[in-house]
Amino acid sequence: MQQQAARALVEVLQRGRSLTHVLRHPETLASVPERDRGAFQDCCYGVLRWLGPLRGALSLLVRHPPAPQVEALLLVALYQLEYTRVPDYAAVDSAVRACGVDDRGAKPFVNAVLRSFLRNRADLMAHARSTRSGRYSYPEWWIDRIERAYPDEYPAILDAGNQHPPMTLRVNQRAICTEAYVAQLGAAGIEAEVIGPAAVRLKQPWPVPSLPGFAEGMVSVQDLGAQLAAPWLDLQDGQRVLDACAAPGGKTAHVLETAQVRLTALDIDHQRLARAEQDLRRLGLEASMRAADAADIAAWWDGAPFQRILLDAPCTASGVVRRHPDIKWLRRESDIAALAREQSRLLAALWHTLERGGKLLYVTCSLFPEENRVRVADFLARHADAVSLPLPGSPASEGQLLPGNSNDGFFYALLQKH
């Protein structure tokens, strides 16, 4: 299992592939015995969650960086030694056996490094955590930007991004009411609590396909913060609605569960859009699905204006790193400016398709102001016919929802065309 986890981490850290993509590849899980798959995924996520202190400790144990596969194997073993209940001897022995048979020098090297760690664990980890990257387990530039944006809250924000995320469900109100569904969970021995009009948080994670009523479309997995989009769109039956960046489709489905609207769902990625369409079928919902660049309105728009537009814009995803810890290490600081340009391009183009009096909800799962309030302020300065509306009952300060026990980090802005 350690060897497979190390290979997956090399794909992420050396080749820049997302962990989600790597884990979805058929060959990845096929190489891991079913009994080991939970531990395999825990190691992949755990190493990326705590890569800052793990790399810091490893740098103290080796003079020169080892080959990528050996380095990844050492990181997996160090994660098991420091953050899991795997017995020390088992973690070390498994790592040594996982070394490639063609690399005779790797086995004694890995054994020596890990045994040195065990002899000096407390001092090594204390030293590794003495740096900001080691303390928070983020790149330095990320820490600096969050501190500048949130000088009082930044330690809590960074720490929240390293927690295991809650498993939150959205109950399909067209199929069953929230309280009745919680009763079904209880009957199945699944502990849960209601945390929103359609939101249910499970006490412990549960395999999604075996959730009561999942196959029948009663419920979907969706963070509480993401469940704010549909209510804040102020939907009315019969409206013509655009979901401009629809995949993976959670907000799309929630819009259709909320009101009887004529929904057009766009996404530039036809494969992700196909998965979203499959989920709509599971829920018994329908939309007009189009694979297109939302900003290229000449390629897809028929000229009839929309009353509501949901723009869940591409962003750094800095607010959801506890679900996708690889984001911390794959993003570059320069990505922020590039994504901000794309967000502005989408806003400006889609504004033409909104009718007067209509509303556009701008959403990101980012914490960086350049993608959020700065982007909206710039848009308002360039469009005299746009006004920002208050978000009804919003728990967010200036539209920014910070990650916490119940939700990931999101930004919302509701704009109306005059």
Are residues 12 and 18 in contact, defined by beta-carbon separation less than 8 angstroms? yes
Are residues 374 and 365 in contact, defined by beta-carbon separation less than 8 angstroms? no
- The residues, any chain, with a CB within 8 Å of residue 269's CB and separated by 6 or more, are 247, 291
> Does 365 qualify as catalytic in the annotation?
yes
Strand partners, 310: 243, 361
Are residues 413 and 376 in contact, defined by beta-carbon separation less than 8 angstroms? yes
Q: Which residue among the candidates 43, 99, 315, 365 is catalytic per the annotation?
A: 365
- At 94, which amino acid appears? S
Other Cβ atoms within 10 Å of 148 Cβ, number: 11
* Calpha distance 270→274 (Å, rounded): 6
* Calpha distance 52→66 (Å, rounded): 17
Q: Which residue, chain included where needed, has tokens 């978000």?
A: 391
C-alpha of 64 from chain center? 33
Are residues 139 and 328 in contact, defined by beta-carbon separation less than 8 angstroms? yes
- At 305, which amino acid appears? P
Closest CA to 19 of 94, 72, 92, 81: 72
Residue 23: strand, helix, or coil: helix
Question: What token pair was written down for 273?
Answer: 């859009």
Residue 164 DSSP label: P
Strand partners, 220: 170
**Sheet with 219-221, side-by-side order of all strands:** 192-194, 199-202, 167-171, 219-221
Q: Which residues are catalytic?
A: 365
